[in-house]
Amino acid sequence: MKSRKILIAIAVVGGLAASIAYAADHIDAPAVTGKSTDITDMYVFQGQNTSNLVFVANTQGLMSPSTTSTASFDANSMIEFNIDNNNDNVEDLVIQCVFNDGKMVVYGPVRPGSTGLNSTVTGTAALSVGVTPYSSSSPITATASGITAFAGPRDDPFYFDLDQYLKIIGGTATAFKPVGVDAFKGTNVMSVVVEVPKSLLNATTGQKLNVWVESKKKI
């Protein structure tokens, strides 16, 4: 087993996955807000190929088009999807994504060398994919051994009527409108997407998985 690069978590977003999971955290602590390690959303859902699960982590939220054109992933950071398949709230498998020279390298799913906040990049890379530039007319993807990956800018899929929410908590409104105003319309994120065969997750049909994602910095 090959291990390198000790990393420590600085942001965590998680949820419970049956057929779909979703978690969001657009306004984070000052230490990570606006930085490349700031996680905005996590999604886990069944792929178009129903034998696969898709893991998505969005980072660097609230980016304008001009900001997106110069956005990049930090070579000293890692996005790590943690998968608990026996309901003990400890990761049994991880999918680790690291960045270098305009590419994302994916490791796993693999049993982690250590659990908790500290991680080591473990095992042999499953695949490498070029980061899609903002100017690209189509996404760059790569597939190997049934695993498909993408990294690059996407339109922020998160929808929230922030103005109405502030009115509710301020006491000037009591409920959201039937049709709201999306506060995140026109903003972008940097997305990490990994599609994995369910057979690699050691999960049985209908089994629930606990999933959370962390951004980690090299120490």
Asked, for residue 181, whether it belongs to a domain, the answer is no
The better pLDDT of the pair 23, 132 is held by 132
Q: Are 47 and 24 in contact (CB under 8 A)?
A: no
Rounded Cα distance between 61 and 82, Å, is 21
Residue located via tokens 């956005």: 71
Asked, for residue 48, whether it belongs to a domain, the answer is yes
DSSP code of residue 191: E
Asked, for residue 164, whether it belongs to a domain, the answer is no
Q: What is the mean pLDDT of residues 36-65?
A: 92
pLDDT at 205 over 70: no
Q: What is the mean pLDDT of residues 182-191?
A: 93
In what helix (H) or strand (E) does residue 173 lie, and over which residues does it extend?
A: none
Asked, for residue 47, whether it belongs to a domain, the answer is yes
Q: For the chain, what is the mean pLDDT?
A: 87
Where does the pLDDT of residue 130 fall: very low under 50, low under 70, confident under 90, or very high at 90 and above?
A: very high
Asked, for residue 71, whether it belongs to a domain, the answer is yes
Give how many domains the chain has, as a whole number.
Answer: 1
Rounded Cα distance between 13 and 71, Å, is 21
Asked, for residue 150, whether it belongs to a domain, the answer is yes
pTM (whole model) above 0.95 = no
Per-residue confidence (pLDDT) for residue 122, from 0 to 100: 83
Quote the strand ranges of 20-136, DSSP E. Answer: 20-24, 39-46, 52-63, 77-84, 93-100, 103-110, 118-122, 125-130
Q: What is the mean pLDDT of residues 6-16?
A: 55
Asked, for residue 148, whether it belongs to a domain, the answer is yes
Per-residue confidence (pLDDT) for residue 3, from 0 to 100: 38
pLDDT at 23 over 70: no
* Contacts of residue 81, Cβ cutoff 8 Å, sequence gap at least 6: 55, 57, 94, 95, 96, 194, 211, 212, 213
Asked, for residue 9, whether it belongs to a domain, the answer is yes
Cβ neighbours around 170 below 10 Å, total: 8
Rounded Cα distance between 96 and 106, Å, is 6
Structural domain containing residue 130: 3-159+187-218
